[in-house]
């Protein structure tokens, strides 16, 4: 009986702790309001040499305050979506009137000083109401 209780305790710990440690999600969402977006560039698996374009789009119910860009878990910069994206406006104008029309953003990334190899970029959207959403990482390769 003692052995059975020990096994039961072990099984309970494995399932309880395993769910919290083994299933980490890269996408964090604060459910204050709906937030949508996508990192369009660089495309997964892209090869960059000296510079590369980083860009995408983001919309939120209260409007997008800024997008934080991280490479290899290091903060790179904030950027505000100010570029017209008619394709996104056509889809999201009804649900996100504050941010759909000018939802695009891009910037040039200097990779000339980055090490050769695989790197990971993550974008995090912050809304005007303080909502946050972090999108899944995209891997790209630097080749000099």
Q: Domain coordinates of the chain in residue numbers? A: 26-142
**Which is it for the CA torsion 54, 55, 56, 57, positive or negative?**
positive
What is the full DSSP assignment across the chain?
A: -HHHHHHHHHHHHHHHHHHHHS---S--B-TTS-EEEEEEESPTT-EESSEEEEEEEEEETT-EEEEEEEETTEEEEEE---B--HHHHHHHTTT-TTTSTT-EEEEEEE-TTSPSEEEEEEEEEEETTS-EEEPPPEEEEE--
What CATH code is assigned to 26-142? 2.60.40.650
pLDDT digits (tens), the chain, 144 positions: 555 444 443 333 333 333 333 322 334 455 578 999 999 999 999 999 999 999 999 999 999 999 999 999 999 999 999 999 999 999 999 999 889 999 999 999 999 999 999 999 999 999 999 999 999 999 999 999
* pLDDT at residue 31, as a whole number: 57
The 10s digit of each residue's pLDDT in 76-113 is 999 999 999 999 999 999 999 889 999 999 999 999 99
What is the distance of C-alpha 108 from the center of its chain?
A: 18
* pLDDT at residue 1, as a whole number: 53
pTM recorded for the entire structure: 0.76
């Amino acid at each position: 009986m003692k052995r059975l209780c020990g096994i039961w305790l072990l099984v309970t710990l494995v399932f309880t702790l395993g769910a919290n440690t083994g299933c980490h999600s890269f996408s964090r969402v604060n459910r204050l309001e709906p937030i949508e977006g996508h990192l369009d560039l660089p495309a997964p698996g892209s090869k960059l040499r000296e510079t590369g374009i980083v860009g995408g789009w983001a919309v939120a119910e209260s409007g997008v305050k800024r997008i934080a860009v991280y490479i290899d878990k290091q903060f790179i910069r904030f950027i505000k979506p100010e570029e017209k994206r008619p394709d996104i406006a056509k889809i999201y104008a009804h649900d996100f009137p504050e941010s759909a029309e000018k939802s695009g953003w891009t910037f040039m990334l200097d990779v000339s000083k980055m090490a050769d190899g695989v790197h990971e970029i993550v974008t995090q959207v912050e809304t005007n109401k303080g909502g946050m959403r972090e999108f899944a990482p995209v891997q790209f390769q630097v080749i000099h």
